[in-house]
Structure 1
């Protein structure tokens, strides 16, 4: 069992004063700097800003026991290079669950600082369980940590018996090995951690750029602490329905893949693809892909990774991964060509060739299962899978299948906060029309929940992630204008391709 005492900073802060500042919002507002100190040191990373800094942030394991055991979060900062233009601090909130804020800041910090003309110090942290922060382990067997198994793909005939057994086994291992640290992995705690970072920085308000799952963290922060928000950008949002949360996001992926697949089909039918051209017409790519996946269901093909064949479900997961960005299309097309060529041995993408690190699997499962209660009827899951396979064959029922969350030992410690239109009008959403992970239909529900608090920039593009990601000048300009001047579109904005 992972012993969180070995990874946590256990020195408690001072008793009553600590409890007052952690639990009393008025006390925090009156004393914005009353947070744990951050000792910054240089930590330039390959490909990142040369002046990137790092520190450790001490946070309570349990905010209900602020004087109890503590965890450590890895924090990173890129300071404004134009102090005279600096107007505050902007938090970069990563996706996931399981994404690294420090890595995200390394990748995007220089471009973001340049785009915002030094208006902000940029900060980010690795959430609990991620990267350089306190981690936990479920001690799952390697096969249970393969992405194609963590994602609950049904058997070739649609049966979920094996999924049920794996989900039950995984939940049991996480309950036995994850301990209190794993139980603390949740969106609610990430929001509290973000606010503790705000206080440690001495800021009365934060601006933020949240991407993917980070949009939900940002939305929850804006709802829970509306008076502490400055300018919030939510890039690639899902449906915030508090009764479903991650369960809804997973289910919605089926529609997202259907929305996005035509982009790949048009690419794969273009004569310019040469040897990677999969069909003469775009409308021929989908039936070809479905037929190939079905043949691999019946007869998996050995790959260059010993013991890991290319199955129909591995091919479907490869499709889902590749639809995230156009740059991944060639790799997917090569895998498809290798699958249909009798003389070729398929080379699996690295993400599918081996298991995820155990700690990465633990944080992903922890947040999904700790945030909200999942249904427990196996018959209902089987029925949902059967219906979804017919409706969305590209994802074959996986998005509505059973997960370990149905067997999770502990009930969620905090109910998800409902997003409402109560609060300052300082949110700018931006969304691709064809996002395979969080479809546009879900983003419209986030937009509706915020009401006049938000504006939505809709970009006629496919893929996951918009700002500083797909080169759409209209979308980038709208976000940059908001972050640097506070000006948003008067109404929702459409950006052509």
Structure 2
């Protein structure tokens, strides 16, 4: 207890000190934003863009500067305008300039941001430091490395962990020798939160409201912890734990996949005309059979790790369930080729170097990661036994184990200090940010937060997830009218 208490007090002292540094930097800023046209790859009706300069290192606010690109979807109703709503779709590594317009138009063809919210705020998007049209980072990733992505491959045994460690070391070396290596220690969640406060200052706003998804929940939690009195209405949708996207969070992908898969199995069993099975148990058995098959007999472009990773991504949203049925049928060698859902390889591969590189910069810069290879091998063995569908992926070793720089400051400790102004939204069965992590963040916030839990599956609740009137009304009611629930609530499935 003594050690834990000492660490907590030290973390609280760091939060106070770093907030003070940010305050000084903000006070020195006074630049107004000059809105203009957006870059060609961002242009959407009504969207304006600009850039601001922020300190690379907030401990030295007068030192080197970098750029942060911002966008605005202005309220068209001045009489109802409350202020600004910063939005973040997650990542880390995802661009954000288009996100205000995407929310207005309905992300992924889904529900649209209600007019009451559009009237109440200027919706502000931004490319976080290191990303997109902000000063970007790179690890000079090859196309093969980009295809591997930022999630470690499912490890069948200890030898697979050793093999992955070599690939992880290569990525870490490339990040350390890249043209943006000078940014390595400073592309962190805490500094991005400080950038958000610089955006607030540049816009001339006393407070900001915020709507963050996935990793964006951790960014929002850090912001409202560092700047509680500058936080207006805070929405955290599909929350990470209070430690952010660290090794513990990645290990939750195993149980997250296992808890979410029954939703798909039930859906698939009810669909006619495919050979996956007519009961959830049969569908689950078919999945496990195919995973084992590709573990033992990989083919060009598809092994067991890739099979599981594609399946994991298709569990994010119920709308992807038909694609998952087609995928499983298409890779089943017992089916005739005509039944397979073939994917064309003619289209040029997307350049995801910046997205994946910035993911590593943030996740490795935020946390101190385990460095023991035998430790990773043990965790992989444990998680593969407990959560055989995907457990041996999140627990596998990644570039952060070999990162060339250490975190420059302790993590911001999420606490209940501040106004009660945080609304958390969470599905019961989220594969990417499972309920277990969200409950820890909810506990850390104490009376600052309320959490609305939804009897649903998938990653994302408001606008991006399965439609649920109860959940949507909770968010819209808070953003537009300030109705924060008096206590935690539960929304039944619809």
Residue 12 (structure 2) aligns with: none
Displacement of 1:154 in angstroms is: 4.1
- Residues 337 and 423 of structure 1: CA distance in aligned 2, closer, same or farther (over 3 Å): same
Displacement of 1:49 in angstroms is: 5.9
Q: How many residues align?
A: 462
Residue 211 (structure 1) aligns with: 213
Residue 320 (structure 2) aligns with: 328
- Residues 436 and 476 of structure 1: CA distance in aligned 2, closer, same or farther (over 3 Å): same
- Select between 451-460 and 352-361 the one with higher mean Cα deviation: 352-361
Pair 1:140 & 2:138 matched: no
Displacement of 1:38 in angstroms is: 1.6
Alignment of 1:53-72 (within 5 A): 53-72=48-67
Name the TM-score, length of structure 1 as normaliser. 0.88
Residue 290 (structure 1) aligns with: 288
Name the TM-score, length of structure 2 as normaliser. 0.88
Q: Is the 8 A contact 1:171 1:405 kept in 2?
A: yes
Q: Is the 8 A contact 2:255 2:387 kept in 1?
A: yes
Q: Deviations over 1:61-111 (max 9, x none)?
A: 222222232211211001111110011111112200011221222210353
Displacement of 1:281 in angstroms is: 0.4
- Residues 24 and 246 of structure 1: CA distance in aligned 2, closer, same or farther (over 3 Å): closer
Q: Deviations over 1:237-256 (max 9, x none)?
A: 01113xx7422221111111
Residue 3 (structure 2) aligns with: none
Measure, in 2, the Cα distance between the counterparts of 1:49 and 1:215. 26
Pair 1:479 & 2:479 matched: no
- Select between 280-289 and 444-453 the one with higher mean Cα deviation: 280-289
- Residues 297 and 260 of structure 1: CA distance in aligned 2, closer, same or farther (over 3 Å): same
Task: Choose the corresponding residue for 1:190, options 186, 189, 192.
Answer: 192
- Residues 44 and 162 of structure 1: CA distance in aligned 2, closer, same or farther (over 3 Å): closer
Q: Deviations over 1:23-53 (max 9, x none)?
A: 363795xx6x943332101449899862211
Helix, strand or coil for the counterpart of 1:90?
strand
Residue 278 (structure 1) aligns with: 276
- Residues 34 and 456 of structure 1: CA distance in aligned 2, closer, same or farther (over 3 Å): same
Residue 299 (structure 1) aligns with: 297
Q: Deviations over 1:101-136 (max 9, x none)?
A: 212222103533514250111101001222211112
Task: Choose the corresponding residue for 1:81, options 69, 76, 80.
Answer: 76
Q: CA RMSD in A?
A: 2.4
Q: Deviations over 1:218-260 (max 9, x none)?
A: 000111110101110111101113xx74222211111111111
Alignment of 1:114-263 (within 5 A): 114-116=115-117, 118-147=119-148, 150-159=150-159, 160-177=161-178, 178-241=180-243, 245-263=245-263
- Residues 82 and 45 of structure 1: CA distance in aligned 2, closer, same or farther (over 3 Å): farther
Measure, in 2, the Cα distance between the counterparts of 1:313 and 1:355. 21
Pair 1:444 & 2:439 matched: yes
Displacement of 1:185 in angstroms is: 1.4
Helix, strand or coil for the counterpart of 2:252?
helix
- Residues 71 and 182 of structure 1: CA distance in aligned 2, closer, same or farther (over 3 Å): same
Residue 376 (structure 2) aligns with: 381
Helix, strand or coil for the counterpart of 1:461?
strand
Helix, strand or coil for the counterpart of 2:479?
helix
Helix, strand or coil for the counterpart of 1:146?
helix
Pair 1:422 & 2:417 matched: yes
Q: Is the 8 A contact 2:156 2:392 kept in 1?
A: no
**Larger RCO: Structure 1 or Structure 2 (Cα < 8 Å, ≥ 6 residues apart)?**
2
Q: Which blocks of at least 5 consecutive residues in structure 1 are unaligned?
A: 1-20, 303-308
Q: Is the 8 A contact 1:185 1:367 kept in 2?
A: yes
Q: Is the 8 A contact 1:56 1:72 kept in 2?
A: yes
Helix, strand or coil for the counterpart of 2:427?
strand
Displacement of 1:164 in angstroms is: 1.0
Q: Is the 8 A contact 2:90 2:214 kept in 1?
A: yes
Measure, in 1, the Cα distance between the counterparts of 2:344 and 2:260. 20
Task: Choose the corresponding residue for 2:310, options 308, 312, 318.
Answer: 318
Residue 454 (structure 1) aligns with: 449
Task: Choose the corresponding residue for 1:398, options 390, 393, 399.
Answer: 393
Measure, in 2, the Cα distance between the counterparts of 1:46 and 1:129. 17
Measure, in 1, the Cα distance between the counterparts of 2:348 and 2:275. 24
Displacement of 1:356 in angstroms is: 5.3
Q: Is the 8 A contact 1:152 1:402 kept in 2?
A: yes
Q: Is the 8 A contact 2:93 2:354 kept in 1?
A: no
